[in-house]
Chains A and B, each alone.
Chain A
Amino acid sequence: MKNVVCVCGHENPVGTKICANCGRPLTEEAKSQKVLDMKYDGSAIRSKTYNKSIIDKVWNFFSSVKVGVALIIITLVVSSIGTILKQEAFVEAGNEAGRAAFYEESYGSFGKLYYNLGFSDLYNQIWYLVLVAMLGISIIVASIDRGIPLHKSLKNQRVRRHESFMKRQRVIAEGTVTTGDSSNTIDAVEEKMKKLNYKVRREGKALLAEKGRFSRYGPYINHLGLIIFLVGVLLHKFPGIYVDESMWIREGETRAIPGMDGYFLENKEFIFETHDNDPTTAQIQQGVNAVAKNYQTDIVLYKQADDAVPGQTDQLEVVKEYSIRVNHPLEHDGYALYQMDFRLNELKEMSFQLTNKDTGVSLGEVAIDLRNPKKEYIIDENIKVELMEYYPDFSGFNNEGAPQTLSPNPNNPAFIFNMITPEHPDGEISFVAIQQTVEPTGDNTYKMAFSGIDTVNMSGLTIRMDKTIPILFVGGFIFLLGLAIGSYWNHRRIWIEQFENGRIRLAAHTNKNWFSIKKDLDAITEYAHLPQYIDQLDDEKETENDEDKKEES
């Protein structure tokens, strides 16, 4: 395609609405306008210029504002759908099948569909990431496509513009000076404009005064910030940049810290304190009788030796001891461990009396550590209890009649004991669960009588590390800076030309805030005795009356 050659001889790219050199309207549309559309200063949007190769077509697709708006709407709608049901990360199920079942059981067929379409784990769906990525490309391409031609046309502005450009501006004036000598009018205008902090360029008797041009770059700066922010968010997906893990740790337990390689955490004690107040009326009404004062986990942080491999825990070095409290995380090496949750009184130890069922006499007590049970518990040489089977989370019997455990946690412990007593040196077998005893070999002489429990508390911690925070901060700052530049400043331009016969032609344009540019115009009109300007978008009547008004004043 050929360039458009203006009457003045300047070659403009195809699609240009206003000649970059003289300002003549080039398209039929622009010629028919009373006031020119000054968007992008009439420069050709790049994508509108050519549409030939595949690259151009892809480019034009992303450059389109319609496509951009559509992408924003789709992303918004899809994200909203993602908030209807809870995300998989918050579903307490061990595996994929469990999570799938959860959605169907909890929400019916809608839940199943929701899960199958991937809304239950939206942020990890490939199509969702592609959608966000396309939005990112759209922002970048559209900015390049519009920003660069705009920048070029703003940089290469001519002082002297053609009549057809001047007359098609919204605010114009034409006529002779109202009083005095017109020979130094342009000098007076220049002097006044400089006082008003305009940048003034002159070409003989023509003048261009300009102010706040940088505000035109506001939207592009804004987009740049958005892109930096988006890059920061995408970086979360890379290893070593972002960690958001959680762990449950019991008192007395030492565990590897997920997401924090080579570090181990020991939970010394979990402390839950409440305020020692008498319940208030509101508390009684809500059935709450204590106000929490403190949630605290006393921990020891260990580090493996540098050359250690996972699982090697015989040479742990103490890094620090600390009390993790709400708002007082353990901070180390860029990581922070927060107190998030707790569970009180998980079973730790169960005690039984080896009791004669008839006489009620106990031969001794056995305490079983539910996290680490032993094979046998010896009371004396003739009396001992053998632990034959242990089911920490007893959930019933399977088809073959074998007891089952649902999890490794001692939520509902069950045991099969062999009780060796002087009366029964070969032992008596007894299945013991909470509130349930089965004696498979017939009527036993002895029983394991439940005599007490010991509990531990569990602490829920989250592990966070985010190296993208500075990037997000910079992106956010640039975003706001662009927003401020684009919103609080405006680009004002005033063109003035004086002809041989002393007549003056003036045109003014601003991208926003016409009130202020008119105030500036009022000031120079008064100072340099310029003809009164008119706003072509005001009522027709007013413009006609303008001539009369001038005579009167």
Chain B
Amino acid sequence: MDKKRKRSIIRGVILAVLVIAIGFTVYSSFTKDKVELLTEGDTAPDFELVGLDGKKHRLSDYRGEGVMLNFWGTWCEPCKREMPAMDRQYDVFKDQGVNLLTINIAQSEFEVQNFLNNLGVDFPTVIDKTRDVMTAYNVIDLPASIFIDPNGKVVKIKTGEMKEADIISHMEMIKPE
């Protein structure tokens, strides 16, 4: 019957619209926070910070090469634990076009430099004094690592301490062809 089909279609459309609207809301509230949150596959927001070397480091300058960002603080024990492995793998991968840039959260140059010297690591480090980059990347818990491919796309977001094997496999993912 024509009428029956029409009724089914109308009901189906109404239910579908409701389910899609609600599904999208629920989905987005879990993949995103109140502010726009970075997810894997997004373009990594560009930023510029001054490093311990006194130079400006801008993310977009690394286009064409892979970049691992690592947010950390001196009070964060897991950050400290994963750093020697990061340093070792950076030495292996830097000749293959993978960069490491660690971002300290708003501490003093003295503390940051001293901390790195004590650990005996020498990867490039910048300080996010205003916490602007931390906000842009929606970093809440430390450590947080973001792996960005040569096209500037976020390939992997990793919160918490990483094993050396994880660092290797993720650096492999962002290696230029």
Asked if B130 and A405 sit within 8 Å, CB to CB, the answer is no
CA distance A264 to B36 in the complex (A): 18
A371 at the interface (CB under 8 A from B): yes
Q: Which of B8, B28, B75, B118 has the most CB of A within 10 A?
A: B75
> Taking A137-B22, A237-B29 as contacts, is the C-beta distance between A261 and B114 under 8 angstroms?
no
Among candidates B32, B45, B118, B141, residue contacting A94 with C-beta atoms closer than 8 Å: B141
Q: Are A309 and B58 in contact (CB under 8 A)?
A: yes
A374–B110 touching, CB < 8 Å = yes
Kindly report which residue of chain A lies nearest to residue B19, judged by CB atoms.
A137
Residues 34-73 of B contacting A (Cβ, < 8 Å): 34-37, 45-49, 58-60, 73
Question: What is the CA–CA distance of A373 and B34 in the complex, to the nearest angstrom?
Answer: 36
Question: Which residue of B11, B48, B114 is within 8 Å of A312 (Cβ)?
Answer: B48
Q: Which residues of A contact B172 (CB under 8 A)?
A: none
**Does B92 have its Cβ within 8 Å of any Cβ on chain A?**
no
Chain-A contact segment, one of B82-90, B131-139, B148-156: B131-139
Min Cβ gap A416→B in Å is 10
Measured CA separation A129–B28 after assembly (Å): 12
> How far is A237 from B35 in the complex, measured between Cα atoms in Å?
9
Q: Is B15 close to A, CB under 8 A?
A: yes
Interface: B170 (CB within 8 A): no
What is the distance, in angstroms, from B158's C-beta to the closest C-beta of chain A? 14
**Is B25 a contact partner of A129 (Cβ separation < 8 A)?**
yes
What is the bound-complex CA distance between A89 and B10, given in angstroms? 42
Q: B110 touching A387 by the CB < 8 A rule?
A: yes
Interface residues on A, range: 35 or more
Do B11 and A373 touch (CB < 8 A)? no
What residues on B are CB-neighbors of A406 within 8 Å? Answer: 75
Q: Give Cα distance in the complex from A136 to B114, angstroms.
A: 57
**Contact, CB under 8 Å: A141 / B14:** yes
Total of A-B residue pairs, C-beta within 8 Å: 141
Partner of A237, one of B11, B25, B45: B25
Q: Does A375 contact B (CB under 8 A)?
A: yes
Asked whether A133 lies within 8 Å of B22 as measured between CB atoms, the reply is: yes
Give Cα A37–Cα B90 distance, bound, in whole angstroms.
80
Q: Does A545 touch B at the CB level, under 8 Å?
A: no
Q: Kindly list chain B residues whose C-beta atoms are within 8 Å of the C-beta of A53.
A: 8
With A240-B36, A261-B136, A374-B110 as contacts: A311 and B49 at CB distance below 8 Å: yes
Q: In the complex, are the beta carbons of A55 and B15 less than 8 A apart?
A: yes
- Complex CA distance for A371 and B34, rounded to whole angstroms: 31
B105 interface residue per 8 A CB criterion: yes
In the complex, chain B residues 84-119 whose Cβ is within 8 Å of any chain A Cβ: 105-111, 114, 118
Kindly list chain B residues whose C-beta atoms are within 8 Å of the C-beta of A126: 26, 30
B135 and A310 contact, CB distance less than 8 A: yes
A407 contacts B by Cβ under 8 Å: yes
Q: Is the CB of B114 within 8 A of A311?
A: no
Q: Are A95 and B141 in contact (CB under 8 A)?
A: yes
- Assembled-state Cα–Cα distance A256/B4 (Å): 59
Given contacts A261-B136, A371-B108, contact A133 B34 (CB under 8 A): no
Query: Which chain A residues numbered 249 to 264 have a C-beta less than 8 Å away from chain B?
Result: 254-256, 258-259, 261, 264
B11 to chain A, nearest CB (A): 5
Instruction: Identify the closest chain B residue to A256 (Cβ).
Output: B132
Nearest opposing residue in chain A for B110, CB measure: A373
Which of chain A's residues 220-259 have a Cβ closer than 8 Å to chain B? 234, 236-240, 242-245, 254-256, 258-259
Asked if A405 and B48 sit within 8 Å, CB to CB, the answer is no
Most B Cβ at <10 Å: residue of A240, A310, A388, A393 = A310
Contact B108 A372 (CB under 8 A): yes
A238 touches B141 (CB 8 A): no
Are A311 and B130 also in contact (CB < 8 A) when A55-B12, A237-B29 are?
Answer: yes
Given contacts A58-B15, A137-B18, A310-B46, contact A129 B130 (CB under 8 A): no
Known pairs A129-B26, A237-B29, A373-B111; A310 contacts B75 (CB<8 A): no
Instruction: Report the Cα distance A392→B19, complex, angstroms.
Output: 52
A95-151 contacts to B, CB under 8 A, are 95-96, 124, 126, 129-130, 133, 136-137, 140-141, 144
CB of A322 closer than 8 Å to a CB of B:
no
Task: Report A327-372 residues with CB < 8 Å from chain B CB.
Answer: 371-372
Contact in complex: A408, B75 (CB < 8 Å): yes
| Interchain CB contact under 8 A, A124 and B7 | no
Which residue from A236, A239, A393 sits with its C-beta under 8 Å from B36?
A239
- Contact sample, A vs B, 28 pairs, CB 8 Å cutoff: A50-B4, A58-B15, A95-B142, A129-B26, A133-B22, A133-B25, A234-B22, A234-B25, A237-B25, A237-B32, A243-B34, A244-B34, A256-B130, A256-B131, A258-B35, A264-B132, A309-B59, A310-B47, A310-B135, A311-B126, A312-B48, A372-B109, A372-B110, A373-B111, A374-B110, A389-B114, A405-B74, A408-B105
Which 5 pairs of residues, A with B, have the shortest CB-CB distance? A256-B132, A237-B29, A239-B36, A310-B136, A133-B22
| Chain A residues with a Cβ under 8 A of chain B | 50, 53, 55-56, 58-59, 94-96, 124, 126, 129-130, 133, 136-137, 140-141, 144, 234, 236-240, 242-245, 254-256, 258-259, 261, 264, 309-313, 371-375, 387-390, 392-393, 405-408
Extra inter-chain contacts (11) besides given A96-B141, A137-B18, A237-B29, CB under 8 Å: A126-B26, A130-B26, A237-B25, A238-B25, A239-B34, A256-B135, A310-B135, A372-B108, A389-B114, A393-B75, A408-B75
